[in-house]
Amino acid sequence: MKGCVASRAFDRLSETATTLVNPEIRRWKQEGGRIVGYFCSAMPVEMITAAGFLPFRVRATGSTGTELSDSFFSSINCSFPRHAFNMALKGEYDFLDGLVIFNSCDHVRRVYDHWIRQLKTPFVQILSLPKKAEVPQVEWFTDELRILRERMQDHFGVAITDERLRDAIAQHNRSRRLLRDLYDLRKESRPPITGAEMLAVTVAGSVMPQDVYTDLLGDLLEDISGKEGHTDYRARLMIIGGLLDNPEYVQIIENQGGLVVTDALCFGSRTLWKDVDENAADPLVALAQYYVADRPSCARMYTEYPRRLEYVRSMIDEFRVDGVIFQRLAFCETWGFEQYSLTNDFRNLNVPLLCMDREYVLGGVGQLKTRVQAFLETVGG
């Protein structure tokens, strides 16, 4: 299936998503701006924006190997941190002025240990991310954010005031609302944007200034709203699971005849389906509440599985999904447990489910095509 988006805004977003040091980053650095990287969608990016910096979600786009990082990770570590740290050792992230890492999983947690010993990034901070989404965990995470604010202010000599935080929250919420408008277009029987194109749009938002991003989203909506969409698909699909930042992976799936109309991904709907409370008395508390408890959670939040299942079920109904593809990076224990639970519960949902392990760098394309083709036969679309 070929994309049909004819939009200068989309072309710019796509270029930003498919390159590591994209034009927006180059422009930002040339104008003297500072960039703070982060590894997980649990990062309250509003804090980086409030500091006047550009938030950059670390990806390993363009990586071709792990020859340097293999000295620090085993072959049974998730391939994403191996590729990302390999690029770091090669100097590919030298444009970063700072980095925030979470203990989101043991594999990424180990990146922090190696990063502070092997690299010279001026500011590196690790935060503790809870595994539950209840009141004590929100309070804990609020304290973590207070520590981060103090250390960023001390290191960079900036003031991250409540007013600036509220402005940043409102700015990111505007992007979330526009993205939800784009998702609404995918509910149509003839969606004007493919799943691969939508993933490129959401990835772009994690590596470019929010004011620029918001303007491009508005232009993209204007360009495609009401336009003739796709009809040449056999089934409406949903992709769920862990980290997926490569639109080409989704494109291969769609080329077999399925159209991805929605997702539950950390580069997708889980980052945008709700807004941060803009009226809270304390914006740090609002951010902690949102990133720990309010937004659709990932598999790290073990006690939230029933709510995640209900979220997936509601998306299936809302977007009229015919089949679901669960993808996870090989050796990811967190999403491995989730896969086991989903496999059991999907029997009661009466929706076909395909589970696939993959490596971070796209490979095994022939096998991927074959499995998707066979899955579409079972869907019967």
Question: Per-residue pLDDT tens for 290-313?
Answer: 999 999 999 999 899 999 999 999
Q: Work out the average pLDDT over 235-247.
A: 96
pLDDT at 205 over 80: yes
Among residues 146, 161, 176, the one where a domain terminates is 161
Question: Per-residue pLDDT tens for 76-120?
Answer: 899 999 999 999 999 999 999 999 999 988 899 899 999 999 999
What is the torsion angle, in degrees rounded to the nearest 10, for the CA atoms of residue 225, residue 227, residue 232 and residue 235?
20
What is the torsion angle, in degrees rounded to the nearest 10, for the CA atoms of residue 155, residue 54, residue 59 and residue 170?
110
DSSP lists the bridge partners of residue 132 as none
Q: ∠ CA(112), CA(116), CA(121), 5° rounding?
A: 110
What is the residue range of 72's domain?
22-161
pLDDT at 59 over 90: yes
Show contacts of 347-351: CB within 8 Å, 24+ apart: 349/313, 349/316, 351/316, 351/321, 351/322, 351/323, 351/324
What is the per-residue pLDDT for 95? 96
What is the per-residue pLDDT for 2? 58
Residue 7 in domain? no
Q: Work out the average pLDDT over 336-361.
A: 93
Do 167 and 153 lie in a common domain?
no
| CATH number of domain containing 55 | 3.40.50.11890
Q: Work out the average pLDDT over 42-61.
A: 97
Residue 341 in domain? yes
Whether the CB-CB separation of 196 and 260 falls below 8 Å is answered with yes
What whole-number distance in Å separates Cα of residue 46 and Cα of residue 35? 13
Do 175 and 235 lie in a common domain?
yes
Spatial neighbors of 4 by CB under 8 A, at least 6 apart, are 192, 193, 194, 227, 228, 229, 230
What is the per-residue pLDDT for 6? 75
